[in-house]
């Protein structure tokens, strides 16, 4: 699930000044700023479910899967950068349009819209988990911060607490018509994400020093209801985490962008594996799909409780501040899809309000109806994000409208498509089978 503005390929009619500024600064952009852009795009809400993947895979296979996904992301980003530099388009949707016509551009926009909507739903679910808790598949009830502070009340149920957040926090932010109005909240949100990672890692190290950590599993536990097909359900989580293809800023030179991608991938591999390892070390097999839920555990001291609450609140506030930025991108994308010949959205108040409120209502109702982020990571990671990260870039190489693909490129593209399709089908089938099995 990704943070920040979407690529200009998903046209953003509300940002003429910002896009002009980006063009003016293109020559002055540095590798460090590109690394910051790419890394911020990768480290999103997907980090919450990484520890749960270690419970399924075990530590060694999880590290291998993380490395494979990172390698494939590097390959497909290279595909896109090569065609960005060869054709007339500098955006994802534009490159797809060059290769497959209007249908290619439309496919990218639809996938981005669905992926962004899934991100917003995941954000609300995580905020609900922090405030109101959740229940594990085994029936263990984890209390949220509001229940811990005030006891279980009618007003701090998930439905009412999220409704309050949506009406009095989210709505004023999403009603802002220009994304530059949110620049300060975006900076604060990144700082809060760093705070979450730092405190979680220190907690795990302290627990390890005191001998309070859980027993770790190096390989999958096939003896206890884990099948080979269950392993494939973890891959969409990593795909969702690493995919940033529509977030990359094309203002940087291709050589700088390649270096930035390599550095960012190394950085994010380290962060994802560290969070997965330390989270699994802290909570073991009791780990939830959203690790924040596990931080309701009783502490031996008031300071321990304060740290637990700080971890949860820091990331919840981070998501509250990122939500309007992601909503801005989704709203602009949907407006371009539904009303391509209309006036600028910022100047059409009825259309602006209807799209804004409609998206917020849909996000809220879905987050209440399906309060489990694992399902959404599985869905978008197996479908739309898989297409954006792997299938579409490989298809561009195979189409080769500029005649620059080598034999090695085509072989690699075919392998990527086969791996993506097979993984997607197995993950979707396994999840459907598991859902039907639980209902029966």
- Residues of the chain with pLDDT > 70: what percent? 79
Q: Please determine, for residue 345, whether its predicted confidence score (pLDDT) is greater than 60.
A: yes
Give the contacts of 132 (CB within 8 A, at least 6 positions apart). Answer: 144, 146, 147, 156, 157, 158, 161, 162
| Mean pLDDT of the 197-212 span | 78
How many domains are there within the chain?
1
> What pLDDT does residue 190 have?
64
C-alpha–C-alpha distance, residues 438 and 440, integer Å: 6
C-alpha–C-alpha distance, residues 338 and 325, integer Å: 20
Is there a domain that residue 56 lies in? Answer: yes
Tokens of 436: 């039907």
Is there a domain that residue 414 lies in? Answer: yes
H helices of 87-101, where? 92-100
Contacts 24+ apart (CB under 8 A), 24-31: 25/251, 26/251, 26/252, 29/249, 29/251, 29/252, 29/256, 30/256, 31/252, 31/256, 31/259, 31/260, 31/263
| Mean pLDDT of the 408-432 span | 91
- Residues of the chain with pLDDT > 90: what percent? 19
Is there a domain that residue 2 lies in? Answer: no
Query: Worst-scoring range by mean pLDDT, 136-140, 171-175, 302-306, 354-358?
Result: 136-140
| Mean pLDDT of the 269-284 span | 83
Tell me the three state secondary structure of residue 134: strand
| Mean pLDDT of the 226-242 span | 84
Is there a domain that residue 353 lies in? Answer: yes
- Count Cβ atoms below 10 Å from residue 394 Cβ, excluding itself: 25
Is there a domain that residue 6 lies in? Answer: no
Average pLDDT, the chain: 79
> What pLDDT does residue 26 have?
41
Q: Please determine, for residue 249, whether its predicted confidence score (pLDDT) is greater than 60.
A: no
pLDDT in tens, 52-110: 888 888 888 989 999 999 999 999 988 888 887 777 776 788 889 888 998 998 999 89
pLDDT category of residue 358 using cuts at 50, 70 and 90: very high
Is there a domain that residue 185 lies in? Answer: yes
pLDDT category of residue 142 using cuts at 50, 70 and 90: confident
Is there a domain that residue 9 lies in? Answer: no
C-alpha–C-alpha distance, residues 75 and 263, integer Å: 14
pLDDT in tens, 153-162: 888 889 999 9
Tokens of 184: 């300060």
| Mean pLDDT of the 254-264 span | 77
Residue 420, domain extent: 16-439
Q: For residue 345, give the CATH number of its domain.
A: 1.20.1740.10
Beta partners for 134? 142
pLDDT in tens, 159-200: 999 999 999 999 998 888 775 555 555 556 667 667 777 777
Let me know how long the chain is: 440
> What pLDDT does residue 121 have?
92
Overall pTM > 0.85: no
Tokens of 141: 């009830």
Is there a domain that residue 144 lies in? Answer: yes
Of 238, 210, 317, 245, nearest in space to 53 by CA? 238
Of 323, 319, 312, 294, nearest in space to 135 by CA? 294
């Amino acid at each position: 699930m990704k943070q920040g503005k979407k690529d200009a390929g998903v046209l953003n009619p509300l940002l003429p000044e910002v896009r002009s500024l980006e063009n003016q600064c293109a020559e002055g952009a540095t590798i460090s700023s590109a690394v910051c852009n790419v890394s911020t795009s990768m480290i999103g809400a997907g980090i919450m479910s990484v520890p749960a993947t270690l419970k399924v895979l075990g530590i060694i296979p999880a590290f291998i899967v993380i490395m494979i996904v990172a390698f494939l992301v590097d390959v497909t980003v290279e595909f896109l950068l090569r065609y960005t530099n060869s054709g007339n388009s500098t955006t994802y949707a534009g490159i797809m349009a060059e290769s497959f016509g209007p249908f290619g551009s439309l496919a990218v926009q639809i996938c981005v819209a669905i992926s962004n909507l899934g991100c917003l739903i995941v954000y609300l679910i995580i905020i609900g988990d922090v405030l109101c808790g959740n229940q594990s598949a085994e029936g263990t009830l984890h209390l949220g911060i509001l229940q811990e502070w005030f006891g279980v009340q009618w007003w701090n149920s998930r439905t009412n607490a999220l409704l309050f957040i949506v009406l009095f926090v989210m709505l004023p932010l999403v009603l802002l018509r220009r994304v530059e109005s949110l620049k300060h909240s975006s900076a604060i949100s990144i700082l809060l994400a760093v705070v979450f990672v730092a405190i979680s890692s220190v907690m795990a190290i302290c627990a390890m020093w005191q001998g309070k950590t859980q027993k770790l599993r190096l390989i999958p536990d096939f003896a206890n209801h884990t099948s080979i097909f269950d392993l494939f359900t973890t891959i969409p989580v990593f795909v969702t985490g690493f995919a940033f293809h529509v977030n990359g800023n094309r203002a940087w030179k291709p050589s700088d962008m390649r270096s930035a991608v390599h550095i960012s991938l190394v950085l994010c591999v380290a962060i994802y594996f560290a969070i997965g390892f330390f989270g699994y070390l802290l909570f073991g097999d009791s780990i939830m799909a959203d690790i924040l839920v596990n931080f309701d555990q009783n502490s031996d001291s008031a300071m321990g409780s304060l740290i637990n609450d700080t971890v949860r609140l820091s990331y919840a506030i981070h998501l509250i501040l990122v939500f309007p930025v992601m909503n801005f991108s989704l709203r602009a994308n949907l407006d371009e899809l539904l009303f391509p010949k209309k006036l600028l959205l910022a100047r059409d108040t009825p259309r602006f309000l209807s799209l804004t409120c409609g998206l917020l209502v849909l996000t809220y109702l879905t987050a209440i109806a399906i309060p489990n982020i694992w399902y959404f990571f599985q869905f978008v990671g197996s479908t739309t994000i898989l297409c954006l990260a792997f299938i579409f870039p490989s298809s561009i190489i195979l189409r080769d409208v500029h005649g620059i693909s080598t034999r090695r490129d085509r072989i690699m593209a075919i392998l990527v498509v086969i791996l993506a399709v097979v993984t997607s089908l197995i993950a979707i089938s396994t999840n459907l089978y598991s859902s039907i099995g639980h209902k029966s």
